[in-house]
Amino acid sequence: MTDNHPRVMLERGFALGPLDGKKAFLPGGFHAFTTDRDELNRLARQYPRCNWGGRREGVIVLDEDPRNGGNLDELGPDALDTLVVRTGSGGRHAYFRFDGKIRGKLADYPGIDLKSGRTGYTVMPGSVHPDTGLLYVIERNIEIKPLPQRLLPLVEPPKYVPQPTVVSPEKRSHGIVRKVAEASEGGRNAVTFWAFCRALERGEQSLLDDIRAAAAAVGLDEREIETCLRSAQRTVGRAA
Protein backbone atom coordinates (compact mmCIF):
# COMPACT_ATOMS: atom_id res chain seq x y z
CA MET A 1 0.00 0.00 0.00
CA THR A 2 1.49 3.37 -1.06
CA ASP A 3 1.47 6.53 1.01
CA ASN A 4 -1.24 7.86 -1.29
CA HIS A 5 -3.73 5.04 -0.86
CA PRO A 6 -6.91 6.18 0.97
CA ARG A 7 -6.40 3.40 3.54
CA VAL A 8 -3.38 5.33 4.84
CA MET A 9 -5.89 7.76 6.33
CA LEU A 10 -7.82 4.85 7.83
CA GLU A 11 -4.65 4.00 9.75
CA ARG A 12 -4.68 7.58 11.04
CA GLY A 13 -8.16 7.15 12.51
CA PHE A 14 -10.27 8.53 9.67
CA ALA A 15 -13.67 7.11 8.77
CA LEU A 16 -13.91 6.66 5.01
CA GLY A 17 -16.66 6.60 2.42
CA PRO A 18 -16.98 6.53 -1.38
CA LEU A 19 -17.36 9.75 -3.37
CA ASP A 20 -18.68 10.57 -6.82
CA GLY A 21 -16.05 13.17 -7.65
CA LYS A 22 -16.23 15.14 -4.41
CA LYS A 23 -19.78 14.19 -3.41
CA ALA A 24 -20.66 11.65 -0.72
CA PHE A 25 -23.51 9.74 -2.34
CA LEU A 26 -24.43 6.98 0.11
CA PRO A 27 -27.63 7.41 2.17
CA GLY A 28 -26.63 9.51 5.15
CA GLY A 29 -23.87 11.29 3.23
CA PHE A 30 -20.63 11.65 5.16
CA HIS A 31 -22.39 10.40 8.30
CA ALA A 32 -22.24 6.96 6.68
CA PHE A 33 -18.42 7.00 6.53
CA THR A 34 -16.98 4.06 8.43
CA THR A 35 -13.80 2.54 9.86
CA ASP A 36 -15.13 -1.00 9.38
CA ARG A 37 -12.62 -2.70 7.08
CA ASP A 38 -15.03 -5.38 5.87
CA GLU A 39 -17.57 -2.74 4.90
CA LEU A 40 -14.89 -0.66 3.18
CA ASN A 41 -13.74 -3.70 1.22
CA ARG A 42 -17.32 -4.32 0.14
CA LEU A 43 -17.73 -0.67 -0.94
CA ALA A 44 -14.44 -0.79 -2.84
CA ARG A 45 -15.69 -3.81 -4.80
CA GLN A 46 -19.07 -2.20 -5.42
CA TYR A 47 -17.61 1.16 -6.51
CA PRO A 48 -14.20 0.28 -7.97
CA ARG A 49 -13.61 3.68 -9.62
CA CYS A 50 -14.85 5.90 -6.82
CA ASN A 51 -12.95 8.58 -4.97
CA TRP A 52 -12.81 8.47 -1.19
CA GLY A 53 -13.71 11.01 1.44
CA GLY A 54 -12.73 10.95 5.08
CA ARG A 55 -13.48 12.57 8.40
CA ARG A 56 -12.13 12.31 11.91
CA GLU A 57 -13.64 14.06 14.91
CA GLY A 58 -11.14 16.23 16.72
CA VAL A 59 -9.37 17.07 13.45
CA ILE A 60 -9.84 20.19 11.33
CA VAL A 61 -8.46 21.04 7.91
CA LEU A 62 -7.13 24.32 6.56
CA ASP A 63 -8.24 24.06 2.94
CA GLU A 64 -6.15 26.26 0.64
CA ASP A 65 -7.78 27.37 -2.62
CA PRO A 66 -5.19 29.23 -4.75
CA ARG A 67 -7.85 30.25 -7.27
CA ASN A 68 -9.38 32.48 -4.60
CA GLY A 69 -6.09 33.79 -3.24
CA GLY A 70 -5.44 31.10 -0.64
CA ASN A 71 -1.81 30.65 0.41
CA LEU A 72 -0.95 28.68 3.54
CA ASP A 73 2.64 29.90 3.33
CA GLU A 74 1.42 33.32 4.48
CA LEU A 75 0.47 31.81 7.84
CA GLY A 76 4.05 30.90 8.73
CA PRO A 77 5.98 27.63 8.76
CA ASP A 78 4.05 26.00 11.60
CA ALA A 79 0.89 26.10 9.45
CA LEU A 80 2.50 23.40 7.31
CA ASP A 81 4.32 21.52 10.08
CA THR A 82 1.70 18.77 10.10
CA LEU A 83 0.13 16.27 7.71
CA VAL A 84 -0.32 18.08 4.37
CA VAL A 85 -2.13 16.75 1.30
CA ARG A 86 -1.71 18.37 -2.12
CA THR A 87 -5.13 18.49 -3.78
CA GLY A 88 -5.90 17.70 -7.39
CA SER A 89 -6.58 21.39 -8.06
CA GLY A 90 -3.16 22.50 -6.80
CA GLY A 91 -4.22 23.59 -3.32
CA ARG A 92 -3.31 22.01 -0.01
CA HIS A 93 -5.08 20.48 2.96
CA ALA A 94 -3.27 21.02 6.26
CA TYR A 95 -4.64 18.74 9.00
CA PHE A 96 -4.59 19.73 12.68
CA ARG A 97 -5.94 18.34 15.93
CA PHE A 98 -8.58 20.70 17.30
CA ASP A 99 -11.91 19.87 18.93
CA GLY A 100 -13.54 23.29 19.31
CA LYS A 101 -15.99 25.23 17.20
CA ILE A 102 -14.62 26.76 14.01
CA ARG A 103 -15.52 29.42 11.48
CA GLY A 104 -16.35 28.53 7.91
CA LYS A 105 -13.32 30.42 6.61
CA LEU A 106 -10.02 31.43 8.16
CA ALA A 107 -10.26 35.02 9.38
CA ASP A 108 -8.18 37.68 7.56
CA TYR A 109 -6.82 35.25 4.96
CA PRO A 110 -8.90 34.91 1.78
CA GLY A 111 -9.08 31.59 -0.01
CA ILE A 112 -8.60 29.36 3.05
CA ASP A 113 -11.68 27.43 4.14
CA LEU A 114 -12.00 25.51 7.40
CA LYS A 115 -13.45 22.01 7.59
CA SER A 116 -14.25 19.99 10.68
CA GLY A 117 -14.60 16.25 11.10
CA ARG A 118 -17.75 16.95 13.08
CA THR A 119 -19.57 18.65 10.24
CA GLY A 120 -17.91 17.61 7.00
CA TYR A 121 -15.17 15.73 5.21
CA THR A 122 -12.24 16.11 2.82
CA VAL A 123 -11.21 14.20 -0.28
CA MET A 124 -8.61 11.59 0.63
CA PRO A 125 -5.18 11.08 -0.96
CA GLY A 126 -5.26 8.66 -3.88
CA SER A 127 -8.49 10.21 -5.20
CA VAL A 128 -8.67 11.89 -8.61
CA HIS A 129 -9.84 15.48 -8.99
CA PRO A 130 -12.99 15.43 -11.16
CA ASP A 131 -11.95 18.51 -13.17
CA THR A 132 -8.17 18.29 -13.52
CA GLY A 133 -7.73 14.51 -13.46
CA LEU A 134 -4.83 14.96 -11.02
CA LEU A 135 -4.33 12.90 -7.88
CA TYR A 136 -4.63 14.04 -4.29
CA VAL A 137 -1.22 13.16 -2.82
CA ILE A 138 0.36 13.35 0.62
CA GLU A 139 2.95 16.12 0.44
CA ARG A 140 4.13 16.12 4.06
CA ASN A 141 3.76 12.70 5.65
CA ILE A 142 4.08 13.36 9.37
CA GLU A 143 1.77 13.08 12.37
CA ILE A 144 -1.19 15.42 12.68
CA LYS A 145 -0.07 18.19 15.03
CA PRO A 146 -2.17 20.24 17.45
CA LEU A 147 -3.42 23.51 16.00
CA PRO A 148 -0.87 26.26 16.83
CA GLN A 149 -2.20 28.47 19.59
CA ARG A 150 -1.49 31.61 17.62
CA LEU A 151 -3.99 30.48 14.95
CA LEU A 152 -6.86 30.11 17.42
CA PRO A 153 -8.20 33.67 16.92
CA LEU A 154 -8.33 33.04 13.17
CA VAL A 155 -10.10 29.68 13.54
CA GLU A 156 -12.56 30.12 16.40
CA PRO A 157 -15.82 31.98 15.71
CA PRO A 158 -15.96 35.49 17.19
CA LYS A 159 -17.53 35.71 20.61
CA TYR A 160 -20.39 38.12 21.13
CA VAL A 161 -19.65 40.61 23.91
CA PRO A 162 -22.71 42.60 24.99
CA GLN A 163 -22.14 46.35 24.93
CA PRO A 164 -23.77 48.77 27.37
CA THR A 165 -26.85 50.23 25.75
CA VAL A 166 -26.51 53.81 24.57
CA VAL A 167 -30.27 54.34 24.35
CA SER A 168 -31.47 56.97 26.80
CA PRO A 169 -33.79 55.89 29.65
CA GLU A 170 -36.61 57.92 28.10
CA LYS A 171 -36.31 56.02 24.83
CA ARG A 172 -35.91 52.67 26.59
CA SER A 173 -39.19 53.31 28.34
CA HIS A 174 -40.98 52.79 25.03
CA GLY A 175 -41.90 49.10 24.95
CA ILE A 176 -40.85 48.48 21.33
CA VAL A 177 -37.40 50.00 21.77
CA ARG A 178 -36.98 48.31 25.15
CA LYS A 179 -37.52 44.86 23.65
CA VAL A 180 -34.78 45.51 21.10
CA ALA A 181 -32.40 46.91 23.72
CA GLU A 182 -32.92 43.77 25.84
CA ALA A 183 -32.71 41.26 22.98
CA SER A 184 -30.28 38.37 23.47
CA GLU A 185 -27.87 36.84 20.98
CA GLY A 186 -29.67 34.53 18.58
CA GLY A 187 -32.89 36.54 18.66
CA ARG A 188 -31.63 40.04 17.93
CA ASN A 189 -32.49 40.07 14.22
CA ALA A 190 -35.99 38.70 14.76
CA VAL A 191 -36.76 41.20 17.54
CA THR A 192 -35.39 44.10 15.49
CA PHE A 193 -37.52 43.08 12.49
CA TRP A 194 -40.57 42.81 14.77
CA ALA A 195 -39.91 46.26 16.26
CA PHE A 196 -39.55 47.89 12.84
CA CYS A 197 -42.83 46.28 11.74
CA ARG A 198 -44.71 47.56 14.80
CA ALA A 199 -43.31 51.08 14.41
CA LEU A 200 -44.20 51.19 10.70
CA GLU A 201 -47.69 49.79 11.32
CA ARG A 202 -48.34 52.51 13.88
CA GLY A 203 -46.87 55.24 11.71
CA GLU A 204 -44.28 56.05 14.40
CA GLN A 205 -41.47 56.99 12.05
CA SER A 206 -39.66 58.75 14.89
CA LEU A 207 -39.01 55.35 16.52
CA LEU A 208 -36.96 54.01 13.62
CA ASP A 209 -33.77 55.77 14.67
CA ASP A 210 -34.31 54.67 18.27
CA ILE A 211 -34.72 51.05 17.13
CA ARG A 212 -31.55 51.36 15.03
CA ALA A 213 -29.61 52.62 18.07
CA ALA A 214 -30.96 49.86 20.30
CA ALA A 215 -30.13 47.17 17.73
CA ALA A 216 -26.59 48.50 17.36
CA ALA A 217 -26.21 48.52 21.14
CA VAL A 218 -26.93 44.76 21.35
CA GLY A 219 -24.44 43.89 18.62
CA LEU A 220 -26.11 44.09 15.20
CA ASP A 221 -24.05 45.75 12.50
CA GLU A 222 -25.39 48.39 10.12
CA ARG A 223 -25.98 45.91 7.29
CA GLU A 224 -28.05 43.61 9.52
CA ILE A 225 -30.10 46.52 10.83
CA GLU A 226 -30.87 47.86 7.35
CA THR A 227 -31.80 44.36 6.19
CA CYS A 228 -34.31 44.10 9.06
CA LEU A 229 -35.75 47.51 8.18
CA ARG A 230 -36.13 46.73 4.47
CA SER A 231 -37.79 43.41 5.29
CA ALA A 232 -40.20 45.16 7.65
CA GLN A 233 -41.02 47.79 5.04
CA ARG A 234 -41.83 45.10 2.49
CA THR A 235 -43.88 43.11 5.01
CA VAL A 236 -45.91 46.09 6.21
CA GLY A 237 -46.36 47.34 2.65
CA ARG A 238 -47.80 44.00 1.52
CA ALA A 239 -50.16 43.92 4.50
CA ALA A 240 -51.39 47.39 3.68
pLDDT digits (tens, 9 = 90+) for 8-55: 999 999 999 999 999 999 999 999 999 999 999 999 999 999 999 999
Q: Using the CB atoms, write b or e for 168-182: b if 16+ within 10 Å.
A: eeebbebebbbbbbe
Is 1.10.287 the CATH number for 7-155? Answer: no
Using DSSP's 3-state secondary structure scheme, residue 227 falls into: helix
Domain boundaries, the chain: 7-155, 169-239
pTM: 0.69
pLDDT confidence tier of residue 158, bands split at 50, 70 and 90: confident
Instruction: Give dist(CA 169, CA 27) in Å, integer.
Output: 56
Render 118-151 in DSSP notation, one character per residue.
TT--EEPTT-B-TTT-PBPEEEE-SPPEEPPGGG
pLDDT digits (tens, 9 = 90+) for 113-138: 999 998 899 999 999 999 999 999 99
For residue 9, how many other CB atoms are within 10 A of its CB? 24
Using DSSP's 3-state secondary structure scheme, residue 24 falls into: strand
Contacts of 113 (CB under 8 A, 6+ apart): 62, 63, 65, 70, 104, 105, 106
pLDDT digits (tens, 9 = 90+) for 168-209: 544 444 788 988 988 887 788 999 999 999 989 888 888 899
